[in-house]
Structure 1
Amino acid sequence: QQAKSNIQFLGFVPDEELQKLYSTAKALVFPQLEDFGIIPLEAMASGCPVIAYAEGGALETVIDGKTGVYFHEQTPEALKKAIRKRTTIDFDHQKIEEHAKTFSEEHFQKEITKFIDKKWKDWQKQMT
């Protein structure tokens, strides 16, 4: 079956163009099962909601109804239903971007530093 005219299959896209494409897309479809999957986070970093297969890493990064929509079977019918559901949700693109930042290296460094500082202070209190 042929895709409609508003759907584009681009193949390889240079990194420089990805952010623009993500920021103007209505959604990123992520139908595969992956342990983590960086692609949904790249899309969300540009405010793009994700339509994701509800297994694997997508469950850790996509929040159903907030940053995207899940589908639970890898079938055309389930994907169509998820796409229809996406059209009924007015996503807050800024909140999607903020959520993606919680997976950034900077966020990780901040949180691990905070954790170590707390443990260090707790240990110092025990030693006095």
Structure 2
Amino acid sequence: MNNDILDKITFDTGGLVPAIAQQHDTGEVLMMAWMNRDAVLETLEKGQVCYWSRSRGKLWRKGESSGHVQRLVNFRIDCDGDTLLLLVDQTGVACHTGRHNCFFQSVRDGEVEIISEVEISPDEMYGNKSGGK
């Protein structure tokens, strides 16, 4: 792997960079998660998206427990190098709540409204384990 790629990315003091996953063919924003150097390298080398789980303190290979994987189509770095945009081909749902994307809460008329339904129950998706983050 060419270190020039990693040199273009500005990781924060914790060694992380935010990564936005977007469905490549529709433009739908699916989720935001964090990546460290190892997650970036693995994603670029294997073509399957890998993140850093802050809650578990380890690499999180999207779909490893749910089967709802993200195949990398295009890896983009923003102008400042401090945010990544991952154009992906999402299999199944992206959100650990069982919704297609993580942005299912909308503020309307001063209230938070749920704007998309659960497509698969988290219990079914994770075999009765709590969440996939």
TM-score interval (norm. to shorter): under 0.3
Judging by fraction of residues, say which structure has more helix.
1
TM-score, L = length of structure 2: 0.25
Tell me which structure has the larger Cα radius of gyration.
1
